[in-house]
């Protein structure tokens, strides 16, 4: 399927299938701050919390992903009768998702995972609640509500985290309903054996789940194991498609009556991987519903997961983000300021924007370190790059050594860089015009500027943008590289 057709499908919300989500809804809370001191009374590190964000996790994250990708989502689930359950319900209602299918039990607590983080790195996680539970009366209400919801859906998506929301009687009822009115069934579970009677269309075990289910030992060659295990998992679960995820080692897809295929994934050294599997399976589910071939379906799902991983909270992806990812996969350059402003207005709603700028003339290890560090400050890194004429005004007639198009190509090849914006004219060689359009959450400068009065400071204060300085790599700068070349009597010519 060509990108234009695929983009149209995505922009149309994958034809808006009706999906019933069943499973364990959770609340994810992220407390981000600085950790620079010890508590004097107990001698443990203190996290000074700067921001507190909550979002939906578990089956709740599946709901968010399906909704954001265009599906018409209904949900029947059980929560505790507590304040965190109210937060989950409010979050769903704000997205326009009906919450009458939520039952509230006084016999359990709403499952809540709180992560304490410093610079996007998790220091500690603490959990509230262990399992959801039903008394007999509530179980009957639960099953009746699900049976009623089943009458008007195309897909049943089971997100089973083994937290009690999928009792055996529910699986028995689904089996009976499938005999009468079959639906597409997608299952994410720690144990797929109990779903074999449903003959699921799609399952997504990860490596550790597969290893535990099959009673296998961990091996260094996980791809080889995955190729062997995928068919066994399909037979065990009676599944049509098995997408076995192997983290950095990619995905093995087994399709009934076909040999397994291994798909590689781009290397990701950093990111928030919580919920990435939900995002992957959500996209795969919608691709499967629309009859995409397996190569397109897996590629799309990997892209969706990577969009989610780049975010600071629990991974999620929207159809707009996915369409943009496909159309912009080979073009990170934004040259028009109005286009830049519209792009950043869209991105700012769900992402933390980071901006930095520079000449990036002879790219070196210092640049790589600097940009990698800048990316850790948020979700999206936008890099302003001086034009050739701008560099000549700033550095002298012998610079730049490399032309703008070459310097841009190097930046676009970096995974840390999301967008590149050329700037600099006779009126201004500083990035203030870009900052006015981007309005970033974070502005990154090199350590050498810490004691200087930078022209952007007033605008940053007005925007409420945080200014962060990144240390330099010793002896790594374009100027010093040129000096070393000249000292060795080598010729370094400007490209004309």
Neighbours of 471 (CB within 10 A): 13
Out of 278, 361, 388, 418, the active site residue is 278
Selection from 220, 121, 111 nearest residue 159 by Cα = 111
Q: Is the peptide bond before 400 cis (omega within 30 degrees of 0)?
A: yes
Nearest-angstrom CA–CA distance, 216 and 225: 9
Q: Which residues does 254 contact at the CB level (< 8 Å), separation at least 6?
A: 230, 231, 233, 234, 241, 242, 244, 260
Compute the distance between CA of residue 204 and CA of residue 276 in angstroms, rounded to an integer: 12
DSSP designation for 451: T
Tokens found for residue 460: 């940053």
Between CA 149 and CA 172 the distance in angstroms is 16
CB-count burial class (<10 Å; 0-12, 13-18, 19+) for 114: middle
Furthest CA-CA distance within the chain: 87
Alpha helix stretches (DSSP H) within 290-383: 294-309, 319-327, 337-347, 365-375
Sequence-distant (6+) residues with CB within 8 A of 411 are: 332, 360, 371, 383, 385, 417, 420
Which residues are bridge partners to 218 per DSSP? none
DSSP sequence for 103-144: EEETTS---EEEEEEETTEEEEEEEE-------HHHHHHHHH
**Is 137 designated active site?**
no
> Can you name the residues that pair with 187 across neighbouring β-strands?
158, 203
3 HSE (CA, 13 A, CB side): 10
C-alpha span between 58 and 325 (Å, rounded): 25
Q: Which residues are catalytic?
A: 278
């Amino acid at each position: 399927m060509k990108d234009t057709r695929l983009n149209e499908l995505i922009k149309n919300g994958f034809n808006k299938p009706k999906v019933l989500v069943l499973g364990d809804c959770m609340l994810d809370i992220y407390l981000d701050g600085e950790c620079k001191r010890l508590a004097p009374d107990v001698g443990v590190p203190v996290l000074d919390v700067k921001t507190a964000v909550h979002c939906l996790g578990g089956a709740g994250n599946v709901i968010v992903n399906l909704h954001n990708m265009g599906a018409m989502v209904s949900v029947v689930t059980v929560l505790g009768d507590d304040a965190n359950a109210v937060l989950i319900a409010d979050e769903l209602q704000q997205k326009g998702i009906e919450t009458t299918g939520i039952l509230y039990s006084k016999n359990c607590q709403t499952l809540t995972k709180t992560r304490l983080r410093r610079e996007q790195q998790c220091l500690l996680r603490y959990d509230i609640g262990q399992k959801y539970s039903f008394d007999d009366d509530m179980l009957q209400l639960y099953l009746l509500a699900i049976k009623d919801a089943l009458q008007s859906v195309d897909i049943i998506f089971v997100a089973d985290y083994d937290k009690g929301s999928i009792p055996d009687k529910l699986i028995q009822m689904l089996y009976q309903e499938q005999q009468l009115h079959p639906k597409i069934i997608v299952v994410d579970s720690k144990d797929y054996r109990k779903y074999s009677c449903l003959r699921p269309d799609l399952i997504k075990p990860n490596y550790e789940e597969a290893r535990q289910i099959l009673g296998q030992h961990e091996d260094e060659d996980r791809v080889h194991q995955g190729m062997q295990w995928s068919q066994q998992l399909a037979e065990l679960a009676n599944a049509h498609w098995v997408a076995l995820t192997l983290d950095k080692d990619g995905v093995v897809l087994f399709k009934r009556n076909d040999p397994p295929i291994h798909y590689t994934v781009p290397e990701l050294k950093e990111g928030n991987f919580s919920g990435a599997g939900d995002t992957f399976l959500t996209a795969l589910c919608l691709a499967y519903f629309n009859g995409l071939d397996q190569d397109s379906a897996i590629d799309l799902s990997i892209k969706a997961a990577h969009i989610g991983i780049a975010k600071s909270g629990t991974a999620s992806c929207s159809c707009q983000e996915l369409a943009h990812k496909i159309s912009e996969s080979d073009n990170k350059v934004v040259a028009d300021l109005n286009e830049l402003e519209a792009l950043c207005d869209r991105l700012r709603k769900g992402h933390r924007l980071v901006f930095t700028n520079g000449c990036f003339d002879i790219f070196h290890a210092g640049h790589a370190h600097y940009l990698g560090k800048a990316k850790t400050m948020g979700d999206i890194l936008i890099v302003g790059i001086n034009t050739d004429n701008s560099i000549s005004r700033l550095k002298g007639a012998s610079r730049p050594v490399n032309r703008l198009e070459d310097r841009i190509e190097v930046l676009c090849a970096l995974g840390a860089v999301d967008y590149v914006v050329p700037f600099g004219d006779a009126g201004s060689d500083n990035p203030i015009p870009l900052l006015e359009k981007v309005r970033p959450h974070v502005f990154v400068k090199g350590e050498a500027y810490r004691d200087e009065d930078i022209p952007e400071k007033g605008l940053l204060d007005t925007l409420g943008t945080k200014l962060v300085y990144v240390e330099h790599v010793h002896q790594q700068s374009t100027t010093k590289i040129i000096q070393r070349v000249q000292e060795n009597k080598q010729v370094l010519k400007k490209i004309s």
